[in-house]
Structure 1
Amino acid sequence: GAFTGLPYDVQIQMIRSMDGLQRAEIARPGYAIEYDFVDPLQTKPTLESKIVENLFLAGQVNGTSGYEEAAAQGIVAGINAGLKLRNKEPFVLKRSEAYIGVLVDDLVLKGTTEPYRMFTSRAEYRLMLRQDNADLRLMPYGYRVGLIGENQYLTLEEKRAHIFKGIENLKEIFINGQSAASLLARPEMTYEILHSTLGEKLPRLTSEEERQVELEIKYAGYIKRQKAEIEKFLRMENTRIFEAFDYRRITSLRREAMEKLQKV
């Protein structure tokens, strides 16, 4: 097929201009989808319009694809619309907390000149944004806004406590002068192997909890470094820059960055 959204009469001329296709017929012409677009720089981190109060925008209208990106925005916009009706604190995820946080932050602060897709490479702190710890990161927010029940939340906090206890126990137990945590840091070692060796000295965990303990121990150095970067970023994020600041005066900034900062 031919990837095109040109008018049908132009498409048929284009196809018939090729050798051997002078009498070709098009069974299904190509088409392009057009939709309304609102510059996401005109929206708040809650996805409420800065111009029209109480108007929340989500999906392709913000310049993204209509798939996972649109669904993610729908969650944020829907929650915030409900919270505003109840006069409650808005729901905003940080870049270090979720890919949704990266998506919304990119849109409302950087804008987009083409349909935005969410890639893992866009997240600076993706080591913290793993699928295995999504519940630990996000369910507390779900509980706060009323999407997670009391029993689910208590189960989550119990899991968190088990993981913490498992890690602390590994640090306190020593085998031939080495802590169990340092042994678990080895690529071939697992929590299950250590538990079978140490028995009741280590608490019995679920497979999910064991996996969390292993990842936290094996990547401890990288995680510690990334947490330090997040803390530094949060300190800078809370620094106020007066509205009339002229970024064009900073000659070390790339032109693209300069233009985007001027728009924010």
Structure 2
Amino acid sequence: MEKNKFDVIVIGAGHAGVEASLACARLGKNTALFNLYDNKIAAMPCNPSIGGPAKGIVVREIDALGGEMGKAADATALQMKLLNSSRGPGVWALRAQSDKIEYSKYMEKTIKSQKNLTLVAKVVKEFIVNNNEVLGVILEDGTKISSQAVILTTGTYLGSEILRGQENYKSGPNDELTTTGISKALKKMGINLLRFKTGTPPRVIKSSINLEKLAIEPGTDLPLAFSSSTTDFKPIQKQEVCYLIHSTQKTKKIIEDNLALSAMYSGEVRGVGPRYCPSFEDKVVRFSDKIEHQIFLEPESISLDTFYVQGFSTSMPIEIQEKMLKSLPGFEKVVVDKWAYAIEYDCIDPMQLNLSLELKKIKNLFTAGQINGTSGYEEAAGQGLIAGINAVRKINQLPPLILGRDEAYIGVMIDDLVNKGTIEPYRLLTSRAERRLLLRNDNAETRLCKYGYEIGLINEKDWQKFLDNQFQIKQATKALKETRFSPKSQLADELKNESQANLTNGQSGYEILKQPNVKIETLVKYIKELENLTLNQLQSIVINCRFEGYVKKEQEVAERLKKLNKKMIPDDINYELVENLAIEAKQKLTKVRPTSIGQASRISGVNPADIQMLLFYLKKHYALKK
């Protein structure tokens, strides 16, 4: 701070800011991370967990690119689960119940010990801008700090307001500080802001709950981990349990009788809330024929005697919240630690971004996380990592890292935000990824490790470990194909006795594994190349074996689409001059300014006929190669 000059400034130390600042510092840039506090790093103001459907795969992708979230989640997990294991591998995902206190401490220690990174507990008020190029920031006390790039990762802290019943006051999450200066500065630069809303449920004292009335939700007893660097692949020694209950008819009636008192239904809320994570009163209204709803009780930390009441988000007044809680089974004598609330905040229209997460109007200003209209720690961290990487690459005059929709859920998310925008807090879902069989939990390293290594976030040791991992899978697959078993073999007897398979003729291990009931663990003792493989490696072999044809078809489609991404659109094109282009297509293309035909084809409102007209125009006026 003495020279008031940095290579990169990151504003906000949430999950996006942590990944962005660590990436910049690890890539050799002198980085300042500005935060409202000198602690509260990567805090969990909402649910105390990392991962889940699609989100768990994002955490694996962050790790494969050289990010930190997976390592922190493994180190501070209270419980680990493999979700959707009874369904197809395209939707498998890990979810960790995190110790939110220890997770934040882990990230704080990582930030404060990172070379090239300075944590600064000061408020940024506005930006230094010249000719639509950001040159630094101005602090609340008037101090000017210059930089070559700025990354904005302010989460839900821009102009935020807490809403609870008729209460409405300016505050960040959990009654923390908020800031209005940045919102004003963005508007002054011509950036369009949106107003979004999210909510959080009550936290209750665990010892006040009658646990005998609750159903236990244990973790998965398998050696699971998000990060490939987690070498102690053993199940968590003492997994904390979560609990499941259901709301009652009485809960429903309390909501219906007091609906007008909710901030959501009284007109207090102006922002748009998330469709996929609605408040409890919204569930009652939208699903009026449903008597009960699932509610999960999740431990927040081993150092706290509290449960997070997952699925019970509300903006009801405190006196109504108390009645709602006491209507739940086991909650007759509940004591509340923190009451629920809704929070409104400013975010930007993400269609103002390039795929690199740099704003189109303001050079060298990047944004990541909930400011881009997303919800969730994992979505924020994924964007933060990409924004950090691309800020450094912009400084170094290198092309940005743009992940394809067939390469990463992170790529799907950014592509959706930039090309389609969002009218509510965006949440990653497996259904958003049309190539989800390629974007699996088990193959994140295979897809992305090469990028992390080439960029410089994966070191030589970890790169060699990845190559060894791939070699072991290749050798094991080769052994499976070359080793044959007769119907009279010991393996055949074991498979038949366990009702896994009935061999009527000689088959290779690979052919046997294609049968859906065969467990690869049964083959391990017969093929030595399988013996020392991790659970993740074994899963990859099974999936590649059983879904070989489907994966090949997906890859062929992905390759065809990549050709469209290589057909570039010149920056200076005037879409008004493209003949026979629909009016809506002209408007959308002008707003998004896609860089390739592939990107143009994914914009809502741009149809195949429009793409054909665009190709004709480019071929005629720009000599576009086929």
Greater alpha carbon shift after TM alignment, 148-157 vs 76-85: 76-85
Alignment of 1:35-50 (within 5 A): 35-50=345-360
State the identity as a percent.
39
Query: 2:479 pairs with 162, 166, 169, which one?
Result: 169
**1:36-94, CA deviations, whole angstroms, 9 ceiling, x for partnerless residues?**
33221111111001110000011222121253222221111111112222223311211
Question: Aligned-pair distance for 1:185?
Answer: 0.7
Alignment of 1:47-66 (within 5 A): 47-66=357-376
Contact 1:44 1:108 in 2 (8 A): yes
Counterpart code for 2:381? A
Contact 2:514 2:546 in 1 (8 A): yes
Number of residue equivalences: 241
Contact 1:248 1:258 in 2 (8 A): no
Q: Describe the SS at the equivalent of 1:222.
A: helix
Contact 1:110 1:260 in 2 (8 A): no
Query: Structure 2: how far apart are the matches of 1:49 and 1:196?
Result: 56
For the pair 1:142 / 2:142, whether they are aligned, the reply is no
Query: 1:127 pairs with 431, 437, 447, which one?
Result: 437
Question: Aligned-pair distance for 1:193?
Answer: 2.8
Alignment of 1:1-264 (within 5 A): 7-8=166-167, 14-15=260-261, 32-176=342-486, 177-197=506-526, 199=527, 202=529, 204-207=531-534, 208-240=536-568, 244=575, 245=578, 246-247=581-582, 257-258=604-605
Question: Aligned-pair distance for 1:132?
Answer: 1.7
Q: Describe the SS at the equivalent of 1:115.
A: coil
**1:153-202, CA deviations, whole angstroms, 9 ceiling, x for partnerless residues?**
101011111112222332334445533211111123234433433x45x5
Query: Structure 1: how far apart are the matches of 2:468 and 2:421?
Result: 40
Considering fraction of residues, name the structure with more strand: 2
Contact 2:525 2:531 in 1 (8 A): no
Question: Aligned-pair distance for 1:134?
Answer: 1.6
**1:77-123, CA deviations, whole angstroms, 9 ceiling, x for partnerless residues?**
11111222222331121111111110001011111122111111101
Query: Structure 1: how far apart are the matches of 2:347 and 2:382?
Result: 18
Counterpart code for 1:216? N
For structure 1, which runs of at least 5 residues remain unmatched after alignment?
16-24, 251-255
Counterpart code for 1:139? C
Q: Describe the SS at the equivalent of 1:53.
A: coil
Question: Aligned-pair distance for 1:219?
Answer: 1.6
Query: Structure 2: how far apart are the matches of 1:57 and 1:131?
Result: 27
Counterpart code for 1:206? L
Contact 2:476 2:530 in 1 (8 A): yes
Query: Structure 1: how far apart are the matches of 2:514 and 2:433?
Result: 25
Give the TM-score taking structure 1 as reference length: 0.77
Question: Aligned-pair distance for 1:216?
Answer: 0.9
Query: Structure 2: how far apart are the matches of 1:249 and 1:93?
Result: 27
Query: Structure 2: how far apart are the matches of 1:152 and 1:13?
Result: 55
Contact 1:162 1:205 in 2 (8 A): no
Greater alpha carbon shift after TM alignment, 96-105 vs 80-89: 80-89
Query: Structure 2: how far apart are the matches of 1:257 and 1:91?
Result: 23
Contact 1:58 1:74 in 2 (8 A): yes
Q: Describe the SS at the equivalent of 2:604.
A: helix
Query: Structure 2: how far apart are the matches of 1:169 and 1:87?
Result: 46
Where relative contact order (Cα < 8 A, 6+ residues apart) is larger, the structure is 2
